[in-house]
């Protein structure tokens, strides 16, 4: 990492340790809250909500590598925010559209005044190309009918990016979440975050609601997905580091048979192996951020590599985290379980290991 | 380096390569037979191989980052990247490989006197002297600091007696760098010296060991009253362990990238497998994908640590991580290659060439230069700070 990046990470860590430690997440979980608007406003004031928004639209325009650094720090303390959905995914999509409406939306995202959720999934696995939900032409506009699930930040978002099938392809719609015919049901998620199942019953959409071109959703959606996948990978790498840090501390403190359990070679080698995996995954994530900043057209391989590695490493980190903590790791009063649940949700969101492994294989010629 | 000067360097280099790299040397050189090891007894496999070595050596391109006065080209890390990219672009063979380049060179650059650097480094760069490594002994494997080969102080020289084992290619090497106990009363890490020894002299004998892979890259080397002049010590007397450890971090980084095509340019495992099997079954394909993902990520990690080295941060203890991850991956990769080859891969020199031999050879990767278990212990103690 460059000096600037290290400074950003230090600053982010300082803020999150104070304003959004794991105990804050626990409070929210216990209170059944999935969004803290005041906290998001504070993040916006620091330029995080506008991390990808151009400066002339009020953003800090720090780029993808910087977004990954922020996401990684958020992962360490399980900070709850619409950062990925709004500041990364929606902002990237909107940036690929050059009209005043998109520009206004970007400004509102950067200010922390408007949040977005991406509604793509219809089945249990991420498969944007397989989208079945219909947007039938109707007069000058469209009528949306169908169901979406696993819409992250979807129950509380102000607006929705909805992927639907039009006559000759897929189209991305940008509509307010309270439009007539939209019914949102919050899912009771294992990680206690905002996720919704959404029904669209003859929802009206105009040509102006289309983001990008009709039948060409991927021009806008693909870069947005890649940005989201990379940032999610970064968040998961932070999550791995958070869980790992707790585990190593525990190995140094916990005594059994009269000595610290960290003296047992069986545990030492497993902890060392996990550290190696975390280091290797960190390289893939750094690479994805740089590639998105420098050569976004060809970032697909780097992004899928990062998401696949991050998924795998986070899984190992939380499994080892619970196992090495023993019984205490299984209790709700202890934080490790939070990391395990978030890792499982992150594993599925925006494409699981198999999905991204296939992308890597395709890019590598087999 | 500015973009302009980088582009300029690239253009010059490209033109030089175009003019100077013989066509026969543009086949990637992935097989054992294509490697040029150099040394007094080296027999070039072709006129092109000789020419390619000479031309590269004249430009310092056998050791691109070494200082010019020691036979290198004095390239920065960034220029070195460009160098490798351009070499890969024309599929050029490496002009020279050797333990002198990978191991002794970095140690001499760090610990050697100016006179030693001037004396020993240029012949390494030109491929004139081939070195081997005298580290392990029958009783000093993972416990390397337990070396018992002893050097008696005889005023102007040490009289050396003892046995080394796993001395790779000792039977073809001209000189050996060896760990010798020069103070038997000191604690085990504090009585070792790092000595350089001409293998042509009396009292140095070597014998190849036949390995499970059918070949004999490793040897036993015996010292019987061998005389090593005092000026052939690197670093301080009895502080050879510092040199040994430093050299090991370089050896580990080298081994970590070896063979698996990790430093870019390597073909994807799945693509290689697809050459031999018409339709990959699901399990093999899934394993190959995982292996490919890990290979790419480990390759990026090697690059990341190399970048840090130039910024003066060195891989240090993290070289243990690179070595562990790289070698375990390489073993896995060759397991999959065997699986893809099926019964064709089970014959020595069969339809798939030496695939079985290569597979067996990789089993040493996680042993040589420090076992995987030693690497994990290093990470656990020095990186994680877990109690011993």
The pLDDT, as a whole number, for residue B259 is: 46
Whole-number pLDDT of residue B253: 81
Q: Is A361 on the interface with B (CB under 8 A)?
A: yes
Supply the pLDDT for residue B174: 98
pLDDT given at position B264 = 41
CA gap B220, A210 in Å, rounded = 74
Q: How far does B298 lie from chain A, in Å, by closest CA?
A: 6
Q: Is the Cα torsion angle B28, B30, B31, B32 positive or negative in sign?
A: positive
Answer positive or negative: Cα dihedral of B264, B267, B271, B273: negative
Closest chain A C-alpha to B114 CA, distance in angstroms: 34
CA A317 to CA A177: how far, in whole Å?
Answer: 36
Query: Nearest-CA residue of chain A relative to B308?
Result: A1
Look-up: residue for tokens 């020069």? B182
Q: What pLDDT score does B309 carry?
A: 74
Nearest to B292 among A252, A284, A364 (CB): A364
Which residue in chain A is spatially nearest to B387 when comparing CA positions?
A263
Contacts of B268 in chain A (CB under 8 A): 361, 364-366
Average pLDDT, chain A: 97
Which residues of B participate in catalysis according to the annotation? 251
- Check A286 against B294: CB less than 8 A apart: no
Q: Under an 8 A CB cutoff, do B321 and A276 touch?
A: yes
What pLDDT is recorded for position B252?
87
| pLDDT > 90 in chain A, percent | 98
CB contact under 8 A, A283 and B271: no
Whole-number pLDDT of residue B316: 80
Q: Which residue has the higher pLDDT, B271 or A222?
A: A222
pTM: 0.92
Q: Which of B379, B297, B308, B375 is nearest to A280 (CA)?
A: B297
Out of A280, A287, A365, closest to residue B268 by CB: A365
Spatial CA neighbour of B136 closest among B244, B31, B276, B237: B244
- In this complex, do A271 and B373 lie within 8 Å of one another by their Cβ atoms? no
pLDDT above 50: residue A148: yes
Tell me the chain A residues in contact with residue B297 when contact means C-beta distances shorter than 8 Å: 280-281, 283-284, 305, 309
Note the pLDDT tens digit of each residue in B97-153.
Answer: 999 999 999 999 999 999 999 999 999 999 999 999 999 999 999 999 999 999 999
Which of B292, B304, B386 is nearest residue A268 as measured by Cβ atoms? B386
What residues of A are in contact with residue B301 (Cβ under 8 Å)? Answer: 279-280, 282-283
Residues of A in contact with B387 (CB under 8 A): 252, 260, 262-263
Predicted local confidence at residue B263, as pLDDT: 42
Per-residue confidence band for A72, with pLDDT thresholds at 50, 70 and 90: very high
Higher pLDDT, B261 or A51: A51
Residues of chain B with pLDDT under 50: 259-261, 263-265
Closest alpha carbon to A109 in A175, A43, A53: A53
Phi, psi of B239 (to 5 degrees): -115, 25
Residues of B with CB under 8 A from a CB of A: 268, 270-271, 273-274, 280, 285-286, 288-290, 292-294, 296-298, 300-301, 303-304, 318, 321, 324-325, 373, 375-377, 379-381, 383-388
CA distance to partner chain B, nearest, from residue A122 (Å):
26
What's the confidence (pLDDT) of residue B265?
45
Grouping H, G, I as helix, E, B as strand and the rest as coil, residue B151 is strand
Tell which A residues from 3 to 32 touch B, by Cβ distance under 8 Å.
none
Spell out which residues of chain B touch residue A364, defining contact as CB-CB under 8 Å: 268, 270-271, 292, 296
Please report, to the nearest 10 degrees, the dihedral formed by the alpha carbons of residues B318, B321, B323, B327 taken in order.
Answer: -170
| Average of per-residue pLDDT across A47-71 | 97
CB contact under 8 A, A366 and B270: yes
For residue B63, report the phi and psi dihedrals to the nearest 5 degrees: -135, 70
Closest residue of chain A to B374, computed from CA coordinates? A269
What residues have CB less than 8 Å from A33, skipping those under 6 apart? none
On chain B, the residues whose CB falls within 8 A of the CB of A360 are 289, 292-293, 296
Q: Is B287 exposed, middle or buried (0-12, 13-18, 19+ CB in 10 A)?
A: buried
A window 224-263, beta carbon within 8 A of B? 248, 251-252, 260, 262-263
CB contact under 8 A, B304 and A309: no
In this complex, do A280 and B268 lie within 8 Å of one another by their Cβ atoms? no
- Å between B6 CA and nearest CA of chain A: 17
Rounded alpha-carbon distances, angstroms, from residue B208 to A174, B47, B174, B215? 72, 29, 15, 9
Closest listed residue to residue B288, CA positions, set A70, A299, A336, A365: A365
Residue B258: what pLDDT? 60
pLDDT of A2: 87
Q: Given an 8 Å threshold on Cβ–Cβ distance, is B386 in contact with A287? A: no
Residues of B in contact with A308 (CB under 8 A): 293
Could you report the per-residue pLDDT of A290-340, keeping only the tens digit for each?
Answer: 999 999 999 999 999 999 999 999 999 999 999 999 999 999 999 999 999
Alpha-carbon span A233 to A307, nearest angstrom = 5
φ and ψ at B350, to 5 degrees?
-90, -155
Residues A185-215: pLDDT tens digits? 999 999 999 999 999 999 999 999 999 999 9
**Do the Cβ atoms of B290 and A287 come within 8 Å?**
no
Check CB contact of A328 with chain B, cutoff 8 Å.
no
pLDDT at position B272: 75
**Please, are residues A148 and A120 in contact by the beta-carbon 8 Å criterion?**
yes
Q: Which of A275, A360, A366 sits opposite B274 (nearest CB)?
A: A366
Provide, as residue numbers in chain A, all residues whose Cβ is less than 8 Å from the Cβ of B270. 361, 364-366
């Amino acid at each position: 990492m460059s000096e600037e990046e290290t400074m950003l990470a230090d600053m982010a860590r300082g803020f999150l340790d104070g304003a959004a430690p794991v105990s804050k997440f626990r409070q929210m979980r216990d209170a059944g809250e999935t969004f803290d608007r005041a906290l998001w406003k504070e993040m916006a004031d620091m330029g995080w909500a506008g991390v990808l928004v151009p400066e002339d639209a009020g953003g800090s325009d720090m780029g993808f590598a910087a977004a990954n650094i922020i996401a990684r720090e958020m992962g360490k303390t399980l900070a709850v925010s619409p950062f990925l959905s709004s500041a990364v995914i929606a902002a990237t999509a909107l940036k690929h559209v050059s009209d005043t409406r998109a520009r206004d939306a970007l400004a509102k995202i950067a200010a922390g005044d408007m949040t977005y959720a991406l509604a793509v999934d219809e089945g249990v696995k991420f498969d944007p190309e397989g989208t079945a939900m219909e947007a039938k032409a109707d007069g000058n506009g469209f009528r949306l009918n169908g169901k979406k699930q696993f819409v992250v930040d979807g129950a509380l978002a102000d607006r929705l990016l909805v992927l639907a099938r039009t006559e000759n392809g897929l189209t991305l719609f940008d509509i307010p979440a309270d439009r007539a015919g939209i019914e949102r049901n919050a899912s009771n998620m294992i990680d206690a975050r905002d996720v919704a199942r959404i029904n669209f019953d003859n929802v009206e959409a105009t040509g102006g609601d289309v983001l990008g071109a009709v039948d060409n959703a991927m021009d806008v959606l693909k870069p947005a997905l890649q940005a989201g996948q990379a940032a999610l990978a970064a968040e998961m790498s932070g999550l791995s580091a958070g869980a790992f840090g707790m585990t190593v501390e525990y190995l140094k403190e916990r005594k059994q048979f009269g000595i610290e359990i960290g003296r047992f070679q069986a545990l030492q080698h497993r902890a060392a192996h996990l550290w190696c995996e975390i280091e290797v995954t960190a390289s893939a994530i750094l690479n994805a951020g740089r590639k998105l900043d420098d050569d976004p057209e060809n970032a697909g391989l780097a992004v899928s590599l990062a998401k696949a590695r991050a998924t795998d490493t986070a899984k190992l980190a939380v499994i080892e985290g619970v196992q090495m903590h023993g019984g205490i790791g299984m209790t709700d009063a202890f934080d490790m379980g939070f990391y395990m649940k978030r890792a499982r949700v992150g594993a599925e969101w925006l494409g699981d290991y198999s999905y991204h492994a296939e992308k890597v294989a395709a890019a590598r010629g087999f | 380096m500015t973009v302009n000067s980088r582009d300029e360097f690239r253009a010059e280099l490209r033109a030089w390569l175009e003019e100077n790299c013989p066509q026969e040397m543009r086949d990637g050189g992935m097989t054992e037979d294509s490697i040029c090891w150099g040394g007094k007894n080296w027999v070039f496999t072709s006129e092109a191989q000789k020419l390619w070595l000479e031309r590269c050596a004249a430009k310092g391109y056998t050791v691109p980052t070494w200082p010019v006065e020691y036979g290198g080209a004095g390239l920065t890390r960034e220029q070195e990247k460009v160098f490798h990219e351009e070499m890969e672009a024309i599929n050029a063979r490496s002009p020279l490989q050797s333990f002198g380049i990978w191991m002794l060179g970095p140690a001499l650059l760090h610990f050697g006197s100016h006179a030693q650097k001037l004396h020993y480094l240029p012949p390494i760069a030109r491929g004139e002297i081939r070195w081997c490594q005298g580290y392990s002994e029958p009783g000093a494997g993972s416990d390397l600091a337990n070396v018992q080969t002893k050097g008696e102080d005889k005023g102007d020289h040490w009289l050396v007696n003892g046995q080394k084992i796993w001395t790779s290619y000792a039977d073809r090497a001209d000189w050996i760098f060896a760990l010798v106990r020069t103070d038997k009363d000191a604690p085990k890490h504090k009585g070792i010296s790092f000595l350089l020894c001409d293998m042509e002299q009396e009292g140095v004998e070597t014998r190849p060991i036949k390995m499970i892979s059918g070949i004999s890259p490793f040897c036993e080397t015996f010292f019987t009253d061998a005389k090593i002049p005092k000026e052939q010590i690197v670093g301080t007397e009895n502080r050879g362990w510092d040199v040994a450890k430093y050299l090991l971090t370089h050896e580990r980084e080298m081994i970590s990238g070896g063979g698996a095509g990790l430093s870019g340019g390597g073909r994807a495992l799945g693509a290689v497998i697809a050459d031999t099997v018409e339709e990959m079954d699901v399990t093999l394909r899934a394993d190959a994908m995982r292996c490919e993902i890990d290979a790419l990520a480990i390759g990026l990690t090697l690059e990341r640590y190399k970048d840090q080295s130039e910024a003066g941060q060195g891989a240090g203890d993290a070289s243990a991580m690179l070595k562990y991850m790289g070698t375990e991956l390489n073993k896995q990769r060759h397991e999959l290659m065997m699986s893809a080859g099926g019964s064709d891969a089970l014959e020595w020199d069969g339809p798939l060439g030496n695939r079985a031999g290569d597979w067996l050879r990789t089993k040493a990767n996680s042993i040589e230069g420090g076992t995987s278990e030693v690497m994990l212990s290093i990470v656990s103690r020095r990186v994680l700070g877990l109690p011993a």
